């Protein structure tokens, strides 16, 4: 479990670590984003009643239950049409496999299998999303140093460095 900077848990953890700092590769553990991935620990502050193995096991069960085929199909009922409903399970499985390989989820132990499964799923999703080209759409082109043109203002008032130039 990782407490993120700016949260109450991170503040408490940083205060505790200041008393007796834990260094990994010469860096304090509270700067975990700077620790090389190969030596970065997966669980930082110890949980008072649960081992990190049990946390991993329980988290895996939650992921398995959430990404179960039947559960995904039930959630896909919110989609507007059959094509979207068929696409929903592919995207759900792809999402899970992408995070399985990155270590964000607890099932990162299945990396080789997840990579091949993610590639296969991505190909199926690509087929489902194929559409005819839309050449009439304009592409945004970034043009640095265009003081003659006013910046394009969007709904929130931010200025954009992009200028839309229609294609010929």
- Of 21-25, 99-103, 125-129, which gets the smallest average pLDDT? 99-103
- Examine residue 146 and state whether it is found in any structural domain, yes or no: no
- Contact between 36 and 90 (Cβ < 8 Å): no
User: 23: domain range?
Assistant: 1-46
**Model confidence over 78-87: pLDDT tens digits?**
988 898 898 8
Instruction: Return d(Cα 62, Cα 70) in angstroms, integer.
Output: 14
CA distances in angstroms from 6 to 11, 16, 30, 45, listed in the order given: 7, 15, 12, 16
Final residue in a domain of this structure, among 46, 62, 81: 46
The mean pLDDT value for 27-44 works out to 81
**Model confidence over 116-157: pLDDT tens digits?**
767 777 777 777 777 777 777 777 676 666 554 444 444 444
Query: What's the half-sphere exposure (Cβ side, CA atoms, 13 Å) at 93?
Result: 21
Domain count, the chain: 2
- Contact between 123 and 130 (Cβ < 8 Å): no
Q: Are residues 77 and 119 in the same domain?
A: yes
Q: Are residues 8 and 54 in the same domain?
A: no
pLDDT for res 69: 92
- Of 16-20, 47-51, 57-61, 105-109, which gets the smallest average pLDDT? 105-109
Q: Are residues 81 and 114 in the same domain?
A: yes
Query: Locate tokens 């997840």: which residue?
Result: 114
- Examine residue 6 and state whether it is found in any structural domain, yes or no: yes
- Examine residue 101 and state whether it is found in any structural domain, yes or no: yes
Q: Are residues 62 and 33 in the same domain?
A: no
- Examine residue 4 and state whether it is found in any structural domain, yes or no: yes
- Examine residue 164 and state whether it is found in any structural domain, yes or no: no
Query: Locate tokens 């503040």: which residue?
Result: 11
Q: Are residues 41 and 54 in the same domain?
A: no
Task: For the beta carbon of residue 28, count every other beta carbon within 10 angstroms.
Answer: 15
pLDDT for res 75: 92
């Amino acid at each position: 479990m990782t407490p993120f900077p700016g949260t109450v848990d991170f503040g408490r953890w940083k205060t505790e670590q200041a008393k007796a700092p834990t260094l990994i590769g010469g860096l304090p553990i509270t700067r975990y984003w700077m620790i090389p991935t190969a030596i970065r620990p997966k669980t930082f502050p110890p949980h008072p009643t649960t081992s990190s193995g049990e946390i991993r096991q329980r988290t895996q069960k939650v992921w398995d239950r959430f990404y179960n085929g039947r559960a995904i199909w039930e959630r896909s009922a919110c989609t507007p049409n059959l094509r979207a409903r068929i696409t929903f399970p592919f995207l759900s499985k792809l999402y899970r496999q992408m995070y399985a390989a990155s270590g964000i989820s607890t099932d990162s132990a299945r990396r080789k299998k997840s990579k091949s499964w993610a590639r296969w799923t991505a190909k199926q999703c690509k087929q489902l999303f194929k559409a005819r080209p839309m050449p009439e759409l304009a592409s945004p082109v970034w043009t640095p140093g265009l003081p003659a043109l006013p910046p394009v203002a969007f709904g929130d008032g931010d200025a954009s460095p992009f200028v839309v130039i229609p294609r010929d």
